[in-house]
């Protein structure tokens, strides 16, 4: 018989599932398997924590090999290693969750429209080489002016997007908005853009 704590956690998750979509915010596959969310997200800090786990050592080796095969520039190798590692862990998660896996564009590209577009397309390409259909992938981009411009271009190219921005004091909840009606909100709000990928 499950412990009272486990029963309480299970009943809380079941209650949430009846009202919303459960999204795992972890790179730990064991937790994802345990709680069976619909969607999952990755970000650099989650990838870092997962990469410290011994079972992910082969992922790091594969990521370095991939990056060195694409470039000899140390900065490119580092960037490609991180991108591939994010997608590699994301691909494993995509095999567990029935819904989306979301992966973040490097935050340093938040004010670079062309860089954001290139990175988003590169992440999609990596996912596809790992056998993950782009219809399961959401790309998280910053909801800066430049990010929104990148989102418009990527939306036309049928890339699923999840624009993000840190919540400010004047807004405490995420809202589902149309990208074109959210260009000048009175308060900076997170913008979620989901595009059909078929």
pLDDT digits (tens, 9 = 90+) for 157-194: 776 655 544 332 222 223 333 343 444 444 343 344 43
CA distances 4 to 1, 10, 16, 145, Å, are: 9, 10, 18, 48
Backbone φ and ψ for 6, nearest 5 degrees, come out as -65, -40
In this structure, is residue 113 part of a structural domain? no
The residues annotated with a catalytic role in the active site are 140
In this structure, is residue 68 part of a structural domain? yes
- Per-residue pLDDT tens digits for 12-67: 777 777 777 778 887 788 888 888 888 888 888 888 887 888 988 999 999 999 99
In this structure, is residue 81 part of a structural domain? yes
SS3 content of the chain, % helix, strand, coil (to 5): 55, 10, 35
Backbone φ and ψ for 95, nearest 5 degrees, come out as -75, -10
In this structure, is residue 12 part of a structural domain? no
Share of the chain above pLDDT 70, in %: 74
For the entire predicted model, the pTM comes to: 0.74
In this structure, is residue 141 part of a structural domain? no
Number of compact structural domains in the chain: 1
In this structure, is residue 31 part of a structural domain? yes
The mean predicted confidence, pLDDT, of the chain is 77
In this structure, is residue 124 part of a structural domain? no
- Whether pLDDT at 144 is above 60: yes
In this structure, is residue 41 part of a structural domain? yes
* Cα 133 from chain centre: 14
Enclosing domain of residue 77: 21-104
């Amino acid at each position: 018989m499950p412990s009272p704590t486990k029963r309480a956690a299970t009943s809380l998750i079941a209650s949430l599932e009846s009202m919303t979509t459960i999204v795992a915010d972890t790179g730990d596959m064991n937790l994802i398997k345990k709680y069976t969310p619909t969607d999952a997200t990755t970000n650099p800090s989650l990838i870092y924590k997962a990469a410290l786990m011994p079972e992910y050592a082969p992922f790091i080796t594969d990521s370095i090999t991939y990056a060195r095969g694409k470039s000899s520039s140390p900065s490119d190798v580092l960037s490609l290693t991180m991108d591939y590692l994010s997608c590699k862990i994301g691909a494993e998660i995509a095999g567990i969750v029935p819904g989306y896996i979301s992966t973040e564009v490097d935050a340093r590209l938040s004010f670079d429209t062309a860089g954001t577009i290139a990175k988003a397309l590169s992440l999609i390409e990596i996912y596809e080489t790992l056998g993950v259909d782009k219809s399961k992938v959401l790309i998280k981009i910053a909801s800066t002016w430049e990010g929104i411009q990148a989102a418009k271009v990527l939306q036309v190219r049928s890339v699923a997007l999840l624009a993000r921005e840190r919540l400010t004091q004047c807004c405490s909840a995420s809202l589902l908005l149309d990208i074109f009606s959210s260009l000048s909100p009175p308060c900076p709000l997170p913008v979620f853009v989901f595009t059909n990928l078929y």
